Chains A and B, each alone.
Chain A
Amino acid sequence: MKENDTKTQYELNKGLAQMLKGGVIMDVTTPEQAKIAESAGACAVMALERIPADIRAAGGVARMSDPAMIKRIQAAVTIPVMAKCRIGHFAEAQVLEAIDIDYIDESEVLSPADDTYHIKKSDFHVPFVCGARDIGEALRRIDEGAAMIRTKGEPGTGDVIQAVRHMRAVMSGIAKITAMNEREMLAAAAEMRVPYELVKNVHDLKRLPVVNFAAGGIATPADASLMMQLGADGVFVGSGIFKSENPAKRADAIVKAVTNYKDASLIAKVSENLGGAMVGINADEIKTIMEERGK
């Protein structure tokens, strides 16, 4: 019963992402944080040793987390657990698959391991989510086997501008493809270095063929609502929760803002007295530009 063929496995992996829609995926570094996230309504957690803001502060090479630490988080919660590997580091991905992780994020937050190739994700059973800044990057990652896409944003900054830019770019790319005729789609496929069938699929569906989340710099309920209104299927919150003054309350508020993202009076209510947000840094004041990793 367990041996799924490749096509079936991909459908199951895309399906898991569909179940996460309308939800918030939270970065956690300890089992205690994972439990706080779960009871505040996270639909999944991302287990990592350091959240992006601390990776940025520490500098140096950022790698996959200690499997023992990931396992402790897996044991602490019943919701899906994700973990990050470096771009192109298929051996880290194999390790994460071996410890039965639910989703791998091939992430620009960690130091890239390969500046030419991303992981050939279709070789794996485990699903992958990848960052994308525009429709071309999104389709290249999907072509490699990603079952879920997220904006890159600029992680660990608390500045939402890049996530907005990337979401708008993906959405406008979809709108353009939707309006294309066959010859234009052939040219676009060649330009983006992806198969024609994938472009045609976007054209027919009028959306990406996989779930598309927002990530990078989301720190408030209004940030989450903004990304949902721009077309995100759900939201990743990295540093924004556990770098804030009252993580449980902020997590709960962001979850409610995602569910009722069009209801401004509800978002006003949940935004009251949240305590300090993460301090944040402006995305144009930083030296390490993570979003440019892996194109």
Chain B
Amino acid sequence: MNIGVLAVQGAFIEHENMLRSLGAECRELRCREDIDHLDGIVLPGGESTVQARLLTELSMMTPLKKLIESGVPVLATCAGLILLAEHIDGGEAPHIATLPVTVRRNAYGRQSASFCCRASFGTMADVPMMFIRAPFIESVGDGVEIMAHDSSDAQNITAVKYKNQLAMAFHPELTNDTRIHEYFLKLVARRRG
């Protein structure tokens, strides 16, 4: 299976390494022509302002949106979650806007507030989660399945699944735990049939 990893800016190699270790083939998406014949899409962490700007300037936003709307599974982490969200707290215009959630950017604060925790992700227990200047999800729309919360008293939503979209505020690609990527590849395999 051929996974397209958005490679305009950010931590894309970490996703590629993890997916390749699980037997998937990866292609870096750096321009519009790269977005073709993909079985799955990864939107990595990085700076969402930079990524969104490059997606527009390099004419990649619309083809990516169409592909996601056509049902191709997508795994989005941190900045990727912000790209997918239909609403961004604070009035910033949405980007790909295929995921009916409201996210808050830098929701925990600056780097001094970055943290790690272990929490459940769907049916998986004890998943290590790294939050780096991370967003969280303030509210979800109809049909959105909540996959994870953070360990704070507020129990903020940190991961969701909606149809073919799997999005989270943290970075599974920076840990040694491959379960979330395996789960994503299962979604890809199931769609290919």
Contacts from A to B (Cβ < 8 Å) = 1-2, 4, 8, 11-13, 15-16, 18-23, 38-39, 41-44, 74, 78-80, 97, 100-103, 125-127, 255-256, 258-260, 263, 266
Q: Are A78 and B49 in contact (CB under 8 A)?
A: yes
Chain B residues with Cβ below 8 Å from A103 are 111
- Near A by CB (< 8 A), chain B positions 29-59 give 30-31, 45-47, 49-50, 53-54, 57-58
Q: Are A259 and B54 in contact (CB under 8 A)?
A: yes
Asked whether A2 and B113 contact (CB < 8 A) given A15-B171, A23-B47, A41-B54, the answer is yes
Asked whether A43 and B47 contact (CB < 8 A) given A11-B116, A23-B9, A260-B31, the answer is yes
Q: Are B117 and A22 in contact (CB under 8 A)?
A: no
B122 CB, min distance to chain A CBs, angstroms: 22
Instruction: Choose from B7, B8, B14, B31 the contact partner of A18 (Cβ within 8 Å).
Output: B14
Q: Are A8 and B116 in contact (CB under 8 A)?
A: yes
B24 close to A (CB within 8 Å)? no
- What total count of A-B pairs have CB within 8 Å? 121
Instruction: Choose from A12, A41, A125 the contact partner of B53 (Cβ within 8 Å).
Output: A41
Asked whether A1 and B105 contact (CB < 8 A) given A22-B7, A23-B47, the answer is no
Q: Are A16 and B112 in contact (CB under 8 A)?
A: no
Besides A15-B171, A259-B9, 11 other CB < 8 A contacts? A1-B152, A4-B116, A15-B11, A15-B132, A15-B174, A19-B78, A21-B10, A23-B10, A41-B54, A255-B54, A260-B30
CB nearest to B12 among chain A residues: A22
Asked whether A22 and B152 contact (CB < 8 A) given A13-B111, A100-B110, A263-B31, the answer is no
Q: Are B54 and A19 in contact (CB under 8 A)?
A: no
Q: Are B50 and A15 in contact (CB under 8 A)?
A: no
A180 CB, min distance to chain B CBs, angstroms: 23
CB nearest to B117 among chain A residues: A1
Q: Are B79 and A19 in contact (CB under 8 A)?
A: yes
Q: Are B46 and A22 in contact (CB under 8 A)?
A: yes
Q: When chains A and B are docked, how far (Å) is the Cα of A95 from the Cα of B47? A: 26
Chain A residues with Cβ below 8 Å from B132 are 12, 15-16, 19
Q: Are A21 and B115 in contact (CB under 8 A)?
A: no
Chain A residues with Cβ below 8 Å from B57 are 256
| Among B9, B78, B133: residue with most chain A CB under 10 A | B9
A sample of 11 inter-chain contacts (CB < 8 A) reads A1-B117, A15-B130, A15-B171, A20-B47, A21-B9, A41-B50, A78-B105, A79-B50, A80-B133, A259-B9, A259-B54
B114 close to A (CB within 8 Å)? yes
Number of interface residues of B (CB under 8 A): 40
Q: When chains A and B are docked, how far (Å) is the Cα of A23 from the Cα of B150? A: 29
Chain A residues with Cβ below 8 Å from B31 are 260, 263, 266
Q: When chains A and B are docked, how far (Å) is the Cα of A100 from the Cα of B111? A: 8
B172 CB, min distance to chain A CBs, angstroms: 12
B30 CB, min distance to chain A CBs, angstroms: 6
Q: Are B110 and A102 in contact (CB under 8 A)?
A: yes
Chain A residues with Cβ below 8 Å from B54 are 41, 255-256, 259
* Cβ contacts B146-174/A at 8 Å (1 or 0 each): 00001110000000000000000001001
Q: Are A11 and B174 in contact (CB under 8 A)?
A: yes
| Among A2, A11, A15, A101: residue with most chain B CB under 10 A | A15
B106 close to A (CB within 8 Å)? yes
Asked whether A11 and B47 contact (CB < 8 A) given A103-B111, A260-B30, the answer is no
CB nearest to B173 among chain A residues: A18
A3 CB, min distance to chain B CBs, angstroms: 9
Q: What are the 6 closest A-B residue pairs judged by CB atoms, nearest first? A: A102-B111, A22-B9, A18-B11, A43-B47, A12-B114, A23-B9
Q: When chains A and B are docked, how far (Å) is the Cα of A238 from the Cα of B53? A: 22
Q: When chains A and B are docked, how far (Å) is the Cα of A21 from the Cα of B9? A: 6
CB nearest to B116 among chain A residues: A8
* Cβ contacts B67-79/A at 8 Å (1 or 0 each): 0000000000011
Asked whether A12 and B115 contact (CB < 8 A) given A102-B110, A259-B30, the answer is yes
Chain B residues with Cβ below 8 Å from A2 are 112-113, 115
Chain B residues with Cβ below 8 Å from A11 are 116, 130, 174
Instruction: Choose from A79, A126, A256 the contact partner of B112 (Cβ within 8 Å).
Output: A126
